[in-house]
Structure 1
């Protein structure tokens, strides 16, 4: 089942299924935020935005608004 990246919980790992190329900054794509890559939510800022992720051993902070443009599949789901 596909969900939005903005909806995962701390510690959950997922595989990126799709990104909205028009809404995602090029820098995130260059850092590995691409379909097929694994992503894990490490932390959430105290006010809930931004979200701090590990993408292919790169640590990246992504705004919740941007994370809602990324579709993922949780790893424990087939």
Structure 2
């Protein structure tokens, strides 16, 4: 497994959240409240044509994140 930030994953890729980076501090509580905790598996469902927002499937629901928010989430790709 290799570590990336969520904004570098392509559509259809699965990953596991490794950690929330320090850049996530302004919106960290919102991410945690939505279930974005370390060890949680997610799938990139869609990426908007201009790259922002990114839609992910997480814990059985769809969530859209701004690219800036996705860049603050370190993930490990599932091979």
Which category of TM-score, normalised to the shorter sequence, fits these structures? 0.7 to 0.9
Task: Select the residue among 28, 32, 35 that pairs with 2:31.
Answer: 28
Give the 3-state SS of the residue equivalent to 2:25 in structure 1.
coil
Of Structure 1 and Structure 2, the greater helix share is in 2
Gaps of 5+ in 2: none
Gaps of 5+ in 1: none
The CA distance in 2 between the partners of 1:62 and 1:36, in whole Å, is 18
The CA distance in 2 between the partners of 1:24 and 1:8, in whole Å, is 21
- Per the TM alignment, residue 25 of structure 1 is displaced from its structure 2 partner at its CA by 4.3
Q: Which runs of at least 4 in structure 1 moved beyond 3 Å after TM superposition?
A: none
Count of residues paired in the alignment: 76
- TM-score relative to the length of structure 2: 0.87
Partner of 1:73: 76
For the pair 1:10 / 2:11, whether they are aligned, the reply is: yes
What do the CA deviations read for 1:1-54 (whole angstroms, capped 9, x no partner)?
Answer: 211100001000000000135143423211111100001100011221000000
